[in-house]
Structure 1
Amino acid sequence: MTTKTYLPTPDTLEQKWYVVDAADQRLGRLATEIANIIRGKKKPTYTPHLDTGDFVIVVNAEKVQVTGKKSSQKLYRNHSGRPGGMKTENFAHLQNRIPERIIEQAVKGMLPKNALGRQLFKKLKVYAGPDHPHQAQQPEILTVNTIPTGDK
């Protein structure tokens, strides 16, 4: 008797859409949940080298929280590629300027650093406000179970 390893195919994969409300959520805990959904780790058909995950829409990105002094101490860096082209800004400044980038970078850092990770990252859609243009996909509302802490 020979048994074959099951591999999901594009015909057998069912990719859902989920909406996550980032209001008053902790950044790291939210990002790990999103990364697991995008990779498909919570599905029985999870395969490490294939894209078996779902799409995630994040709304209210400007209301994501961090604990402690991270809002003034956590730095985000980008480089223009030219000598002396490094620019840094802290969490609070970036949250006022481009709040979507905070969640995008947190989730991107938790995905594989290869072609599969770049493909998976395209399944993340982040919006600063409560509205999103993906109503046609009929996304399900996903509640992220986070452990509330005493400090804000």
Structure 2
Amino acid sequence: MNKTYIPKKNLPNTWYLIDAKDQTLGRISTQIASILKGKTCSSYTPHCTNMSYIIVINAEHIQVSGQKKSQKIYYRHSGRPGSLKKETFEQLQKRIPSRIIEKAVRGMLPKNTLGRTLFTHLKVYSGTLHPHNAQNPTILSLN
């Protein structure tokens, strides 16, 4: 008879620091999404939140391959008629560089309440400074 495994609730929070300087957007975001979902943990359970948090710094220096800098388009819509806004990768990188990584990772997480909770565990900053030094994050090198 199969039994459902339910992990302990009192697992400690683990914080990771990722430097996105000169990293490829797709490769770094897939690794971030798998860490947030808990697939790298030995006690992975698909329906439970993993207590790992990720801090991404240097989001303004993220790279994309090929012609995506000028061809990749980000859309946003306020819900009002005629208010669809379009932005290329370069324009969004100048305006809000952290939103690029956030949109890429959000699209890789589940589309339900679990995915929305996991997304709150991602902290993205455009520069090298972040306010989470007290958590003593472990530095991850994604190569």
Into which bin does the TM-score normalised by the smaller protein fall?
over 0.9
Aligned Cα root-mean-square deviation (Å): 1.2
Contact 1:19–1:57, Cα closer than 8 Å, also in 2: yes
Matched residue, 2:64: 66
Matched residue, 1:56: 54
Choose from 82, 85, 98 the match for 2:83: 85
Contact 1:39–1:52, Cα closer than 8 Å, also in 2: yes
- Aligned counterparts of 2:50 and 2:126: Cα–Cα separation in 1: 27
Deviation of residue 14 (structure 1)?
A: 2.6
SS in 2 for 1:136: helix
Deviation of residue 15 (structure 1)?
A: 2.4
Deviation of residue 6 (structure 1)?
A: 2.8
Contact 1:41–1:53, Cα closer than 8 Å, also in 2: no
Deviation of residue 4 (structure 1)?
A: 4.5
TM-score (norm 1): 0.91
- Aligned counterparts of 1:44 and 1:8: Cα–Cα separation in 2: 11
Deviation of residue 10 (structure 1)?
A: 1.6
List aligned pairs for 1:1-152, cutoff 5 A: 4-11=3-10, 13-145=11-143
- Aligned counterparts of 1:64 and 1:110: Cα–Cα separation in 2: 18
Matched residue, 1:148: none
Structure 1 stretches of at least 4 aligned residues deviating more than 2 Å after TM superposition = 2-6
Contact 1:62–1:128, Cα closer than 8 Å, also in 2: yes
- Aligned counterparts of 1:9 and 1:77: Cα–Cα separation in 2: 41
The answer for unaligned runs of 5 or more in structure 2 is none
Deviation of residue 3 (structure 1)?
A: 7.4
Which deviations, in whole Å up to 9, do the C-alpha atoms of 1:91-119 show, x marking residues without a partner? 00100000000000000000000000000
SS in 1 for 2:102: helix
> Counterpart of 1:82 in structure 2: which amino acid?
R
SS in 1 for 2:66: coil
- Aligned counterparts of 1:52 and 1:127: Cα–Cα separation in 2: 22
- Aligned counterparts of 2:43 and 2:13: Cα–Cα separation in 1: 11
> Counterpart of 1:31 in structure 2: which amino acid?
S
Deviation of residue 5 (structure 1)?
A: 3.7
TM-score (norm 2): 0.96
